Amino acid sequence: MDIIATMSGRKSVRTVAFPPQGSDLMPGQKPDEHCAVIGIIGREQIFPNIVASLKALQHRGQESAGIATYDGSSINLKKGMGLVGEVFQEKDGVLPQSLSGIVGIGHTRYSTQGSKSLENAGPFVISTSVGYMALSHNGEITNAEKLGEELKKRGASFVTTSDTEVMLVEIAKDIAEFGIPRGFRNAMGRLAGAYSASIMVNDRLFAMRDPYGIRPLVLGEVDGSYMISSESCAIDSLGGRLIRDVKPGELVELSSEGITSHFVYAARRTAHCMFEYVYFARPDSVIETREVFEIRKRIGQKLADEHPVDADVVIPVPDSGRTQALGYSEASGIPYDEGLIKNRYSQRTFIMPSQRTRTNAVKLKLNPIRSVVEGKRIVLVDDSIVRGNTIKHIVSLLKKFGAAQVHVRVGCPPILYPCYFGVDMKTRDQFLATGKTIEEIRKTIGADSLGYISIGKLTESLSFSQDQLCLGCLNGAYPAYVPGKNYELQAALEGY
């Protein structure tokens, strides 16, 4: 199903049949990110550019996609389950101009809070006393349940189970009471957790990022239009120019004339998600002035320094370990080669609810190159190990194809604790490393040796200090409030 709606004097919602949603062929093998956000304002129709931008950010969420635009009198919304190209289909090479307007926001989603249903897909649109508002959100509001109950006592009602709806209603309430920008500032003082958001208030476009800067958000310019994006690769895809990151705690307004910063409500420290650099972001993106590709290559280099091994060839787990494997090869002097071929046409065939079907999916997806593998001592490099099913199968597969030895090297320290800030890792029993020593993990996956990069070498690779990063999934110390969890910064954010 998809939803097409117009928020004007009368609201109409029409549902039509839509192709069923597929899923990644290996669901649950790697963590999934919450979503991607886009916002564009210009002097011409921006719908095609929003679609193109969302396609560039498809890796951040494959569950649903949506776009909301303001046409001068109302907000028009379309969203559906599936990939961007499925929800917004081209006909004869032409993208239908179904959503008119010179300002709009877009969203791709993978759910971490709220059920996997169309009603929880973004963007969210509401009618308020100050006009029509729409919001796309990447992250997770950790006190959404508490805020939702408080808002209900004030007369608010909710139609979804998403934390994004709570966030939007809270912002709308505060803007109605205090105006812009004070209403945004008041809302930021009440919202806990991670959020990078693009927001429309009628024809005005805003970008907002949580005070710790947990999730990325950047600003760009494309042919006289200004845009918000979760990653710079979306700006590049339009031939645009990256301007800068939205600062942690900053509210920015974009117009056809340029960009205005209204305020910065920053915490005493940042807490950028290390997993953005390790796994989530596209290698060609630049986050906090750091190119992700170069960071991942440095991770591989430091991994080789920490965990050297006498071997014949370095091969990556495709595609996630490729850049780290290049770095490992450069630092170690061991030749790099492609030893595993990925079947790219089997990824979204059907939903697999059981571990057995997931394991079969791995067998369908990867196949070794015998001439690279047979008789070789292999260094197998991946960006991270979460649940361990994929790496265990790959080690077995390489040995079946004649590998003499398989030495696994991992560009992320052992993941031991859940994430509460927008990553689909919620329970410790999901993690291979829980309650195991490195030697026990090695035996579990069947490797001849196993080496993880240390937290210290990881942070050196990222060119951050440890107190500038969120390392909660590695050490259990969370930078922002999570009910019942160890909160590093117990003191409330200070005012201005």
Mean pLDDT score, 408-427: 88
CA pair distance 65, 63, nearest whole angstrom: 7
Mean pLDDT score, 87-98: 74
Q: Which of 35, 273, 412, 419 is flagged as catalytic? A: 35
What is the domain range of residue 143? 2-271
Please indicate whether residue 488 or residue 156 has the higher confidence score (pLDDT).
156
- Could you give the number of structural domains in the chain? 2
Whether 265 and 312 map to the same domain: the answer is no
484 lies in a domain?
Answer: no
Structure tokens at 231: 């990653």
Q: Between vectors from CA 153 to CA 150 and to CA 155, what angle results, nearest 5°?
A: 115
Write the CATH number for 178. 3.60.20.10
32 lies in a domain?
Answer: yes
Whether 107 and 234 map to the same domain: the answer is yes
pLDDT band at 496 (very low <50, low <70, confident <90, very high): very low
Structure tokens at 467: 């107190």
Whether 186 and 258 map to the same domain: the answer is yes
What b/e sequence results for 320-344 when a residue is b if at least 16 CB atoms lie within 10 Å of its CB, and e otherwise?
bbbbbbbbbbebbebebbebbeeee
- For residue 214, give Cα distances in angstroms to 84, 229, 287, 288, 415: 25, 15, 11, 11, 18
285 lies in a domain?
Answer: no
In the three-class reduction of DSSP (H, G, I as helix; E, B as strand; rest coil), residue 1 is classed as coil
51 lies in a domain?
Answer: yes
- Cis before 27? omega within 30: no
CA pair distance 386, 396, nearest whole angstrom: 18
Mean pLDDT score, 280-301: 97
Write the CATH number for 385. 3.40.50.2020
| pLDDT value for 423 | 79
Whether 344 and 258 map to the same domain: the answer is no
Mean pLDDT score, 398-421: 96
| pLDDT value for 494 | 33
Mean pLDDT score, 41-49: 94
| pLDDT value for 344 | 74
483 lies in a domain?
Answer: no
Residue 273 a catalytic site member? no
CA pair distance 405, 309, nearest whole angstrom: 11
Whether 465 and 336 map to the same domain: the answer is yes
What does pTM read for this prediction?
A: 0.87
Helix then strand then coil, in percent of the chain rounded to 5, is 30, 30, 40
Structure tokens at 332: 């170690």
pLDDT band at 12 (very low <50, low <70, confident <90, very high): very low
Give per-residue pLDDT as tens, 248-265: 999 999 999 999 999 999
490 lies in a domain?
Answer: no
Q: What are phi and psi of 472, to 5 degrees?
A: -55, -40
pLDDT band at 91 (very low <50, low <70, confident <90, very high): confident
Give per-residue pLDDT as tens, 371-391: 999 999 999 999 999 989 999
Whether 70 and 125 map to the same domain: the answer is yes
Give bridge partners of residue 273 from the DSSP assignment. Answer: 470
| pLDDT value for 364 | 67
Q: Are 60 and 217 in contact, with CB atoms under 8 Å apart?
A: no
CA pair distance 419, 178, nearest whole angstrom: 33
